[in-house]
Amino acid sequence: MSRATYFVQECPTCGRMLQIRVEYLGKTLVCQHCRGEFDARDPATLPPAANLSNSMLLDRAEQLLGSGVDGRLRVS
């Protein structure tokens, strides 16, 4: 029986470090903690979070705010 190979990637939404199977590289995944969507990418190719532009951050905030039911933010 072969063992799965994993890599570690930070969730761009909540910042948690996630173990991701190598076979999921290039696929869109959902964080099990915050439900944020992200693409599984080789960590060496990811830009540092500090280099994200303001427009990218605002676009992400709009996306998250719009993901609630009927446009309302879900609170747990």
CATH at 32: 2.20.28
Instruction: Return the bridge partners of 38, or none.
Output: 29
pLDDT digits (tens, 9 = 90+) for 67-76: 655 545 444 3
* Average pLDDT value for residue range 5-19: 91
Distance, in Å, from the CA atom of 27 to the CA atom of 50, rounded to the nearest integer, reads 24
Run of H or E including 63:
helix 54-65
Distance, in Å, from the CA atom of 17 to the CA atom of 19, rounded to the nearest integer, reads 7
* Structural domain range at position 23: 6-68
Question: How many domains in the chain?
Answer: 1
Q: Let me know if residue 74 belongs to a domain.
A: no
Distance, in Å, from the CA atom of 46 to the CA atom of 18, rounded to the nearest integer, reads 14
| pTM beyond 0.95, yes or no | no
11 or 68: which carries more pLDDT confidence?
11
Q: Let me know if residue 1 belongs to a domain.
A: no
* Average pLDDT value for residue range 20-42: 93
pLDDT digits (tens, 9 = 90+) for 32-73: 999 999 999 987 776 666 556 677 778 878 888 876 555 454
Tokens at 74, concatenated: 């879900």
Half-sphere exposure of 72 toward its Cβ, with a 13 Å CA cutoff? 5
